Amino acid sequence: AAIRTEYDIERDDNLALRDYPTLASVIGFVKDKRPDLTTPAQPPATATATIETIPASEAPSQLIQGEDEAAAAVPRRIPTPVLRPRLDQCAPSGVALDKSSRVVVMSDQGGVGRALGKLLKKRGATILMVDDAPSDEELRNRLDEFSSDGQVTGVYWLPALDVEPEIAELDLEAWREHLRVRVKLLYETMRHLYDGVGQPGTFLVSATRLGGLHGYDPEGATAPMGGAVTGFTKAFKREKPEALVKAVDFAPSRKTKALGELLISETLADPGAVEVGTSDDRRWAISLVEGDLPEEPAGLALDADSVFVITGAAGSIVSAITADLARASGGTFHLVDLIPEPDRSDPDLIAFASNKEGLKRTIFERLQASGERATPAMVEKQLAGIERSQAALAAIEAVEAAGGSVHYHSVNLLDGEAVEAAMQRVSEISGKVDVLMHAGGLEISRQLPDKERREFDLVFDVKADGWFNLIHGLGDTPVASTVVFSSVAGRFGNNGQTDYSSANDLLCKFTSHHRRVGAGTLGVALDWTAWGDIGMATRGSIPTIMAAAGIDMLPAAAGIPIVRREITGRAVGGEQVVGLRLGVLVEEFHPTGGIDPEALAGRLDRSVMTGAVESFGIYDGLVVTTELDPTEQPFLFDHRIDGVAVLPGVMGIEAMAATAALPFPDLTVTAVEGVDFLAPFKFYRDEPRALRIEVRYGMDGEDIVGDCRIIGERLLASQTEPQVTIHHAGLVRLSERVPDPAGTGPPDSTERAADPESIYAVYFHGPTYQVLEEAWATDGVAAGAFAAELPANHDPADAALVTAPRLTELAFQTAGIWEIGTSGTMALPTHIDTVEYRPGASEPGAVAVVTPSDDGFDAVVVGPNGDGLVRMTGYRTITMPTPLDESASAPLQRAMTEEA
């Protein structure tokens, strides 16, 4: 019956359901009855339209049972800029810009488009320059005329390079016109060129002026309307994965030709990144970093004086969150939704709560009595409206139960005058707004060819115009915080959701813009995944589709407290992805992450610890796999614990430093910080093993820092999946400056010094790592002299090293002798705060000077002339459980005992 209603097929009393037992037979039924229908070339991403804030039947009072522990278990993933490799280290995009190219350039008004056009013409490309703001029809006519002479191969979209006025300076008509030029014409262009632009070798490259880091910097977004363009671009990539699709962000500047050249360069290389930023002459992408809320609340204090304005209040999710906020505050709530204020005496609402199935029968009979077609679809449509009223009523009652007050505003968010009147009433009643939560919106999934303009406008405008009308309507009313409901579609883009992604990313960038305008407003943007338990995503095939994509639905108990936790827990606003497993959303777009492994691996004098360059992705960063054989490498063969070869911690540091330095041959490793030796990397049965070294890059002042991890996989006999372990981790600091660790005069040796025979009767190291010639203590410090004529550390012996592993080992072992001598226990490295290296530090004649403290050790390794070679702070160890032989450790105890 639902299918007949959907396709307007007349009822056939002779039809037997048993004759249509499969999906194929049902499809055949539709084709037989409606031969006039045409099948689209590509089906929509989801079968039906879904409404974001449609409530489920459960009452919020039954759902608000999740403790904060449930919300705390959801990772707080923060969109964060990470460095990308130089374009000359990247793979080609497959795009050619030459005589065969036919390119549309939608220009900005600042000259970048004109400069880009000249550069493209020099390459022989044919250009359609659109440097005005045509109507939809006029733009389509120009595109048709240009396409008549040959297929369009690419589009440059530049209007978002123009910085727009602040909201206070705009009226609704001007706001809509700015967004029409930036994103509505982009929709018209890419829908019109959909069949051509999207194949391999074609491209869409948009440009924005968000500040160079897409607004994910402390200063905040510059021209936030560009978020709509970025959101559209990301969603288009999901629909056209074979094309090159990029959103390139720039800082404010008057450069034109330089920006045009950068856009061309980005078109020709790096097919792995969609969001690219340019700042400090470096390339950036947007990744995710996990971060916890502060232990002590640092945001808003919610109490009875708190004032909330909440849109989309008749949605089940919003209703549940409203109830949570009401319980935490008992404040004043202004609830905004399109539906009228619910009538508590409405028999349908009463029946919905007590007998939903009976209500369905009542609606069916009511439709029959009215003469309308009584179909399941019509029943569900009317039931959906009742559900929304019931959710609005549940929110109202939750506020009242918490001792708060409620003011309901039935308003269409697209009606600027009506929203302004409602916000003026908010100001008159409350005089301020502590939390403005814009949660209203809807979502209709359809790919561009099937997404009509009215549908795009509806989905986009409810969020975008709704935001403008709220902010503009509140005027000078103080607003302490804003919370916008975005989605994973806004963060990552999604197939069939160009409008939804555009609107959500627009809200995220306006949230970022709060930081720039200095309004003192805490802005929070939440990129929700689909919710479980409540909401439309719980129905139909969506849970199955999500599971197949590796994406977890968000439990309601975990999601409901998140708004409250975010606005009360942090003083600095920002965007957060809210979800568990993200599956395909965080898969890379290119097998190598967009790099050319050979180009990146082509650096001369590579370390023995840098093996095969695998990829340089957005989420995993640089990945290098290094296979080591303990029968070939001296640093493994001579470093054994209980007979098992173990990767020395100092070679783990070398692996992280050397790998982090690969993409930046112009920089020097100045330090490795926050080193954690989490688990020993063992080579069982002397079999080769591969280290997976991952590095994600960011900036700290003028330095680049690489966040490194050494990962090992091992398949155990009883398991079907390999055991994955993070063995070592640390931050590698890369800088243009050359480090110069301060030296110190080493103390003179004493007659009690321990010799190599006594040292290595206790220590487990073989000849390659018997780095101590002698060790002694005096004046509260331990000292160790480097042994002469040691075997080569590695094979090949002439392979370069970025750090000085055996000089660091000298400090380790000297500290270890102190521990053995003073406590009678042996320990292994567990942490280093910082270790600095002088480039080209040599081993002969070196002496380690180690200063013990209650928290561990500090150390400096000096050369024969007193120059600092290695400086280490915050070195800490963990005691081995095996007791030492007292007779063997006695010489070391004497060496570390100072004279009275």
pLDDT band with cut points at 50, 70 and 90 for residue 59: very low
Of 41, 54, 52, 37, the residue nearest 3 (C-alpha)? 37
What mean pLDDT comes out for the span 481-494? 96
Q: Report the pLDDT value the prediction gives residue 825, as an integer from 0 to 100.
A: 87
pLDDT at 146 over 70: yes
* pLDDT tens column, 161-176: 999 999 999 999 999 9
Q: Report the pLDDT value the prediction gives residue 790, as an integer from 0 to 100.
A: 92
Of 735, 629, 767, 746, the residue nearest 690 (C-alpha)? 629
Q: Report the pLDDT value the prediction gives residue 541, as an integer from 0 to 100.
A: 66
pLDDT at 487 over 60: yes
* pLDDT tens column, 362-393: 888 888 888 777 788 788 888 888 888 888 99
Q: Report the pLDDT value the prediction gives residue 386, as an integer from 0 to 100.
A: 86
* pLDDT tens column, 225-259: 999 999 999 999 999 999 999 999 999 988 999 99
pLDDT at 86 over 50: yes
Is-contact 884 820, C-beta < 8 A?
Answer: yes
Vertex 215 angle, CA 211 and 218, to 5°:
95
* pLDDT tens column, 10-54: 877 677 676 676 787 788 788 878 877 754 433 333 323 333 333
Strand 827-837: give its sheet, edge to edge. 612-617, 621-628, 689-700, 703-714, 723-735, 668-677, 827-837, 868-879, 856-862, 847-853, 781-786, 772-778
pLDDT at 191 over 80: yes
Q: Report the pLDDT value the prediction gives residue 603, as an integer from 0 to 100.
A: 59
Q: What percent of the chain has pLDDT over 90?
A: 69
- Tell me phi and psi for residue 729, to 5 degrees: -150, 155
Would you tell me how many other CB atoms lie within 10 Å of the CB of residue 682? 17
Distances (CA, A) of 510 to 507, 522, 592, 846: 5, 12, 33, 57
Q: What percent of the chain has pLDDT over 70?
A: 94
What mean pLDDT comes out for the span 806-831? 92
Is-contact 551 581, C-beta < 8 A?
Answer: yes
CA-CA distance, 300 to 131, in Å (whole number)? 46
Q: Report the pLDDT value the prediction gives residue 727, as an integer from 0 to 100.
A: 96
pLDDT at 67 over 60: no
Q: Report the pLDDT value the prediction gives residue 446, as an integer from 0 to 100.
A: 93
What mean pLDDT comes out for the span 550-557? 91
| Winning range, highest mean pLDDT, from 301-315, 601-615, 881-895 | 301-315
| Winning range, highest mean pLDDT, from 59-68, 340-349, 614-623, 742-751 | 614-623
pLDDT at 63 over 50: no
Burial of 324 (0-12, 13-18, 19+ CB in 10 A): buried
What mean pLDDT comes out for the span 443-471? 96
Query: Which stretch of 363-372, 551-560, 645-654 has the lowest confidence by average pLDDT?
Result: 363-372
Tokens of 811: 């400090």
Q: Report the pLDDT value the prediction gives residue 605, as an integer from 0 to 100.
A: 62
Give the containing element (helix H, strand E) for 109. Answer: none
CA-CA distance, 408 to 715, in Å (whole number)? 60
What mean pLDDT comes out for the span 745-766? 87
pLDDT at 784 over 50: yes
Of 751, 829, 843, 747, the residue nearest 793 (C-alpha)? 843
What mean pLDDT comes out for the span 262-281? 96
What mean pLDDT comes out for the span 502-526? 92
* Count of all residues that appear for the chain in the document: 900
- Please give the mean pLDDT across all residues of the chain: 90
